[in-house]
A and B are shown apart, each in its own frame.
Chain A
């Protein structure tokens, strides 16, 4: 286990890079995913079609291909950026499809009768959204959205492997390939880094899920 202590600084930096990837990608994919979801539930056919196409493509394509497309394809058309930017953008596009579907199913889970009821007691659209639809939709959205974000943190390992480097997975990869380092302790250190985020998040999510559950 000495290798873990000797290389603690490397692990810490890798952990921080993974967190940074995840933080940017989280903000980006929540915004983009919500935008695409608003396209998909809007009454405007071209926007609905665009949203549906977006979700179909990014939900069914392996993240690996999306990332390689950004890393090796996009520079071909004269757009150059760091691997980090490409990696985060790829992760944002991929995750936005899952965010979109979580948000959309949350909105669709509110029964139509709720909207008919607020209209019949004379609330305006804005009031209805604020007091009736969104509070219910948000409660339904939070648990699946949490799972999406946890999955995204795990996917940040793929972003690192495809070329960003310096993240938690890449640290483990380079340490375990270096001569003389025992493989198992090195990689268990990496695993601990991911579990430190995913296990508490999953446990917290389970608590939130129980607290916000609505009996329908």
Chain B
């Protein structure tokens, strides 16, 4: 395989690569063995630690998974509500920014930059402490989490949508205006529907970010997966096993979502006339 770093290998390069592969494989194996030995010496493979999570015959299995199942449902509820709300608010923000004049768009830009510069955790905590102070006690921490996540992700989605509209051929908007549509009609009926299509991969990637960020609900005592796991391990005393299992659930779900985003991106770049934004920029940053 040729790349910008190295040419198609000849016989000597192939030999060198083979030797290097053997050495590297041995090193990786040694590393894994050291981790395994460390875990084994400290009794981390004992069935007492694993079977509440993995063995359906264990006395605690059903109780543990009933709790974890509730946590996973709470995670999914918060994630779905947040992404839907972010999509709505984000579209409104993007439309405001695109339709407003040079001066009147400044407050919108200011708001977007402000919300983008704050950690999500601060947003969630701020919402949960400040809203009750001013008489808006929502009782269920779910809503504070959803509002906090929406504040952050709606501005990210607004930027994604704006980039999507900007990537459309100029003729689309001009044609809409030429047949007598108002700027807002052109945006709503011509540009936004295409922008959503172009930005679909980025929007799916943003779902990964939201799903990961729901775990910040622990700070306001929302019973999502991670907080539930923290409560369970106080009884079962198996933090390593527990975090590995719920970590694997997150990794598998998010990996599947990212692959789906890539698949959608490939489909779109085959059929679409507009330029597809190739890297889902926001999801790359690790927010």
Q: Which residues of A contact B (CB under 8 A)?
A: 41, 43-47, 50, 56-57, 59-66, 68-69, 72-73, 76-78, 94-95, 97-98, 101-102, 105, 107-108, 110-112, 114-116, 119, 133, 144, 147-148, 150-152, 154-158, 161, 169, 172-173, 176, 182-184, 187, 190-191, 194-195, 198-199, 202
11 contacts between A and B (CB under 8 A): A56-B255, A64-B216, A94-B286, A95-B286, A107-B4, A108-B3, A155-B286, A161-B121, A190-B122, A194-B118, A199-B117
| Interface residues of B, count at CB 8 A | 62
> Is B235 positioned at the interface, with any CB of A under 8 Å from its CB?
no
Chain B positions within 8 Å of A46 at CB level: 21, 24-25, 28
- B21 A98 Cβ-Cβ under 8 A: no
- B129 A187 Cβ-Cβ under 8 A: yes
9 closest A-B pairs by CB: A60-B254, A198-B117, A98-B286, A154-B119, A62-B215, A157-B119, A64-B215, A147-B285, A62-B212
Chain B positions within 8 Å of A60 at CB level: 208, 212, 250-251, 253-255, 258
Chain A positions within 8 Å of B281 at CB level: 144, 147
Q: Which residues in window 235-287 of B have CB below 8 A to A? A: 239-240, 243-244, 246-247, 250-251, 253-255, 258, 279, 281, 284-287
Chain B positions within 8 Å of A191 at CB level: 118, 122, 126
Q: Which of B4, B114, B279 contacts A133 (CB 8 A)?
A: B4
A159 CA / B240 CA spacing, docked (Å): 19
> Is B120 positioned at the interface, with any CB of A under 8 Å from its CB?
yes
Chain A positions within 8 Å of B121 at CB level: 157-158, 161, 169
Q: Which of A56, A94, A119, A144 contacts B285 (CB 8 A)?
A: A144
- B247 A102 Cβ-Cβ under 8 A: no
- A101 B284 Cβ-Cβ under 8 A: yes
Q: Taking each of B21, B38, B255, which has the highest tally of chain A beta carbons within 10 Å of its own beta carbon? A: B21
Q: Which residues in window 125-149 of B have CB below 8 A to A? A: 125-126, 129-130, 133
A164 CA / B279 CA spacing, docked (Å): 34
Chain A positions within 8 Å of B255 at CB level: 56, 60
Chain B positions within 8 Å of A63 at CB level: 212
- A115 B4 Cβ-Cβ under 8 A: yes
Given contacts A73-B243, A157-B119, A202-B117, contact A62 B213 (CB under 8 A): yes
Chain B positions within 8 Å of A101 at CB level: 284
> Who on chain B is nearest to A143 by CB?
B281
Chain B positions within 8 Å of A148 at CB level: 284-286
> Is B89 positioned at the interface, with any CB of A under 8 Å from its CB?
no
Q: Taking each of B42, B122, B281, B284, which has the highest tally of chain A beta carbons within 10 Å of its own beta carbon? A: B122
Q: Which of A107, A108, A151, A176 contacts B129 (CB 8 A)?
A: A176
Binary A-proximity of B176-217 (CB < 8 A = 1, otherwise 0): 000000000000000000000000000000001000110110
- 17 A-B pairs besides A64-B216, A148-B286, A152-B286 with CB distance below 8 A are A41-B5, A44-B24, A57-B247, A60-B253, A60-B255, A61-B254, A62-B215, A68-B239, A76-B44, A77-B38, A78-B41, A78-B42, A98-B284, A101-B284, A157-B119, A194-B118, A195-B114
Q: Which residues of B contact A (CB under 8 A)?
A: 1-7, 9, 13, 17, 20-21, 24-25, 28, 38-39, 41-42, 44, 113-114, 116-122, 125-126, 129-130, 133, 208, 212-213, 215-216, 218-219, 226, 230, 233, 239-240, 243-244, 246-247, 250-251, 253-255, 258, 279, 281, 284-287
- A151 B287 Cβ-Cβ under 8 A: yes
A169 CA / B123 CA spacing, docked (Å): 11
Q: Which of B7, B119, B246 contacts A194 (CB 8 A)?
A: B119
Shortest distance from the beta carbon of B94 to any chain A beta carbon, whole Å: 19
> Who on chain A is nearest to B132 by CB?
A183
Given contacts A108-B4, A194-B118, contact A69 B247 (CB under 8 A): yes
- B129 A50 Cβ-Cβ under 8 A: no
Q: Which of A43, A72, A183, A194 contacts B117 (CB 8 A)?
A: A194
A197 CA / B108 CA spacing, docked (Å): 21
- B119 A155 Cβ-Cβ under 8 A: yes
> Who on chain A is nearest to B211 by CB?
A62
Shortest distance from the beta carbon of A106 to any chain B beta carbon, whole Å: 11
Given contacts A46-B21, A158-B216, A195-B117, contact A112 B2 (CB under 8 A): yes
> Who on chain B is nearest to A111 by CB?
B4
